[in-house]
Chains A and B, each alone.
Chain A
Amino acid sequence: MHELSVCQAMLAQVEAIAKREQASRVERIVVRIGPLSGVVPELLRQAFTIARAGSVAAEAELDTELQQVRIRCRQCGAECAASSNRMICCECGDFRTQLISGDELLLASVELIRE
């Protein structure tokens, strides 16, 4: 439900970049989202169809690149794929692991048109 706020923050960043680059419009926005970011890609895309109206990104596409949850065990050093609610070590079963990826909420790139 907070995806609209996140989307508006994203559009503010995109507007600023478009202005800096003297672009007339934005073609594509690429974001990277991890399952542990707290943002649901599908809801962000829905929010985008509402929030983009009237902005420099009014006709832009939004690409959401979903990231994988990966952890590193702080006990045995193993690196494993994990899921949002099961982040224990795949080698030794210890729960004291560190997140390597999976909580990203990044504006990765913007494609602009200068006319």
Chain B
Amino acid sequence: MCDTCGCNITEGNRHLVEEGGKHAHSEDGSVAVEVLQNLLSENDHQAAHNREHFDRHQLLAVNLMSSPGSGKTRLLETTIDRLKARYRIAVVEGDLETENDAERIREKGVEAVQITTGTACHLDAHMIHNALHRMDLDQVDILFIENVGNLVCPASFDLGQHLNITLLSVTEGDDKPSKYPVIFRAADLVLITKSDLLAVMDEFSPERAEQAVRQLAVEVPVTQTSAKSGEGFETWLDWLEEQIELQKARRSQGETRTPKLQPEGAKLHAGEG
């Protein structure tokens, strides 16, 4: 549990904090200070800074999240094969251990930086920032960030990405969105992966999976792909290219995009404070 999770406070986490706040003095000499600040505001601050890097270098940053083994790296391998001729791609790989995934990407002739988090179950904005300074972002049109395989923790940490993709492989069960609502609510696209296995996995119903996503009040596309057979790649790549154009258009207006990770309710409440 938590005591085995070695998530560290990173350099940027230490200094803080916004001035002000209401004070109430009580008789016993204690002072109550009202704060109303997001607990992860330091991470969010670093994420916003990362996003400025991405926008200055005119690239689209896409964060991939899923359980371990849902096919994130394989999706990237096939995607690179299909897009390499037209776009310059780079990848940041997050894993607990090993350089394996980065090596798989490098074999495709694409730059990959591996972040090994040790025991930390997610990437945070500070780790991404350190990785960025090891890359030549001027040579990049699309930066993929493969998060640590985990359906819980990555959803809470903004990295500075423009888009989130949540993958659900057909071997995991179509009720995952109901069990892990936070990560599916964060998605700008839900990819049902390993669709070639649907033929032998008749327990998995893509319709039920999509229904479970809709129950979370999520309107984003839910689409199927197989990185093995190439099935569904037209739809996925069309979506991605559309996002590249949309981001270009935003940039030319001096705008950017934040994925839906940011707590909406919290913002409403902070506004009241």
Contacts and interface: CB of A to CB of B under 8 A. Distances in A.
Interface residues of B, number: 60
Contacts of B183: 38
B217 A97 contact: yes
Contacts of B150: 1
Given A100-B265, A113-B30, A38 B182 contact: yes
Given A38-B152, A50-B2, A96-B217, A101 B35 contact: no
A39 B5 CA distance: 14
B153 A1 contact: yes
B263 to A, nearest CB: 4
Contacts, number: 189
Place the interface of chain A in its size category.
35 or more
Interface string A23-42: 10001100110101111000
B15 A88 contact: no
Contacts of B17: 13, 16-17, 20
B122 interface: yes
A32 B263 CA distance: 12
Interface in A37-63: 37-39, 43, 46-47, 50
A2 B121 contact: yes
B181 interface: yes
Contacts of A96: 217, 219
A4 B124 CA distance: 13
B33 interface: yes
Interface string B1-42: 111010111000111110101000000011111111111111
A9 B177 contact: no
Given A1-B1, A5-B9, 17 more contacts: A1-B150, A2-B5, A2-B7, A6-B40, A8-B9, A13-B39, A16-B15, A17-B17, A27-B30, A36-B182, A37-B263, A47-B2, A71-B217, A84-B181, A106-B38, A109-B32, A109-B35
13 contacts: A1-B5, A3-B2, A6-B40, A12-B42, A13-B35, A85-B178, A85-B212, A88-B214, A98-B217, A98-B264, A104-B266, A104-B269, A111-B31
Interface of B: 1-3, 5, 7-9, 13-17, 19, 21, 29-43, 120-122, 124, 150, 152-153, 155-157, 177-179, 181-183, 185, 212, 214-219, 263-266, 268-270
